[in-house]
Chains A and B, each alone.
Chain A
Amino acid sequence: MRALLWEGVNELAVRDVPDPVLRNDGDIVVKVRRTVTCGSDLHLVGGYIPFMRAGDVLGHEFVGEVVEVGSGVRNHSVGDRVVVSSFIACGRCWFCRKGLFSACDNGNTNPAITETLWGFSPGGCFGYSHALGGNGGSHAEYVRVPYGDVGAFRIPDGVSDERALFASDSVPTGWMGAELGGVTPGDVVAVWGAGAVGQMAARSAMLLGAEKVVVIDRLAPRLQQVVCFIGCDVIDYSSTDVHEALLEYTGGRGPDVCIEAVGMEAHSSGPGHLYDQVKQQLRLQTDRPTAVRQAIYSCRKGGSVFVLGVFAALVDKFPLGAVMNKGLTLRSSQMHGQRWIPMLLERMERDEIVTEHLATHVMSLEDGPRGYQLFKDKADGCVRSVLVP
């Protein structure tokens, strides 16, 4: 089959690779119909997460059709149109039972790497390095899905592939930020990052009853999408002092819930960005936490900060004093998709969540490297590049 491969730091190529096969009774094999670039892939492409091997298939957010099922699969049949959670979870361990699917004890076949790095291992993920299992990614014609009964969900007839695609990762990630961030009716919520995850976090906050929601970014096409498709307020940080703007937006209180949807390659408009970038390039810190710092600083006393963006290891100048003295609740997680995807598909069917506008660039799998280039450069208004194998 054809697949988009990581060939080395900043090198991608589409080549022929062996088809995936069923390896466990609970596996299914899915023929990919749509697969999409994610901001977190850029950390792999750029070598910031150093656990890729030449030939690894990228991609973790996808929809497709079931073409093979293992002998232990009960919920799926050949021909099912499914969306698959990006995180691989067994559904049977204590963490899965508690809804913490991305913390699954059994979903990562290489647990020692992340145990060594982080103390304990999260679950596995498609196309997201050998630290998270070395599983083949979805930027391919076919993908093996372990624990298929747990991680794959039939798409309702009323939901298109184009919409359901984002139920694989972006929408549940955004929902998680709002729900686990503790959004309640009447809250004021600020979201850093107007990419797909940030937009979905904002929409989720609105659905959970937030009275005012504002999204912060510098990219005009994304901010326009927020206004047109999400229907909330925006702040352009390249021309506005974010903290002052948030004080004014909240009557001097600060947002009740702050959701960071940017990650380890954050930008900012001040000299802090240069400082962080130099330290990251010299590997004196692995991640640039600019947006996290700002969210902590601007959050109201006793408020909640949720970190949705992907971070790999160490950050510098973390404002722990603000967390402690303001009494903030700081939470974070990888995405517990299995917990929310069925509910989110229902909301998609009722048009409460729309995602088609996120797919600004749709192209063939063969054009995948160009899709990543556009996505990385944020060129031509690219929010997400969708690949069609």
Chain B
Amino acid sequence: MIDQLLIPLLKIVIVLNATLVGVTYMVLLERKVIAWAQSRLGPMRVGPYGVLQPIADAIKLMIKEDITPVRADRWVFTAAPIISMVPALIVYAVIPFGPTIHLFGRPVSLYITDINVGLLYIVSVASVGVYGIILAGYASNSKYPLLASLRASAQLISYEVAVTLTLVSVILMAGSLSMVEIVNAQYNQHAWFVFLQPVAFVIVLIGGLAETNRAPFDLPEAEQELTGGFHTEYSGMRFALFFLAEYANMIVVSSVVVTLFFGGWLPPLPNTAWAHFLYYVPSWAWFLIKSFCFLYLFIWIRATLPRYRYDQLMNIGWKVLIPLAIANLVVTGIVKVLVM
């Protein structure tokens, strides 16, 4: 009873709450880091150094008037933010934050579940998340959101191909689709996969930026051309849901990159005798530190790089990333056969 119901439920509650708190503070971190990059201070008024700003933002968004445009498709307009948010949250079910540890004399795994098709689950749930953006643009019945959602869906579909093809080479290295097994494979091979699959890492990172609509691939939200992108007509909490979904997806992408290429919960130099002192840092701490580095990298990239043009975006996706992904897959396969 305790093992089958209570502990999983507790884990789900903890992970969901931690994610939502993490997401709200991601917003603050982004505002702060971009402000520093531009020699500003960022939010300073609410709480010391603005640390309570996310709470103020949340209250503001919740009590704002919630407007539905008259000619909008009411049902789809309501469903779109939910469709964006749900896939972004249910992905956390298979992300391993750590191995199985003993807590109060009871083995507790630091992941909600470990399914045989973990990586495939993440990819397929992410592919359903596209609907939120497409439907938001369609249901608003307004030209800018529609243009933005067409851009977004073309972009997401294009980069999904490259990322999924690249993930196959990681699966080849690990010999499993399970997230926990992929980390264990990195332990057994004494190296993070980023050193064995550097090309795959670069493709997944670029594709991840594009799939979360982050700069320099934030064309669906290009303010200068589209007034605000696919969520132009949304206000109040529904707008906030799109915002939260985007940041939740960023955390997902960085956790997946950490799990696949940076050894998940493993310290640097995993399974090496002289580097064993690194295991004194708890496993989940390694995971969180590495994920945080990637989240910081995403913000850093946004503060640094200008936005791509639409044709450049498509060229990178179809003419560079996809051929590179196929070549990487073929080379990985050949090397694997030769080594075995």
Partners in one complex: no
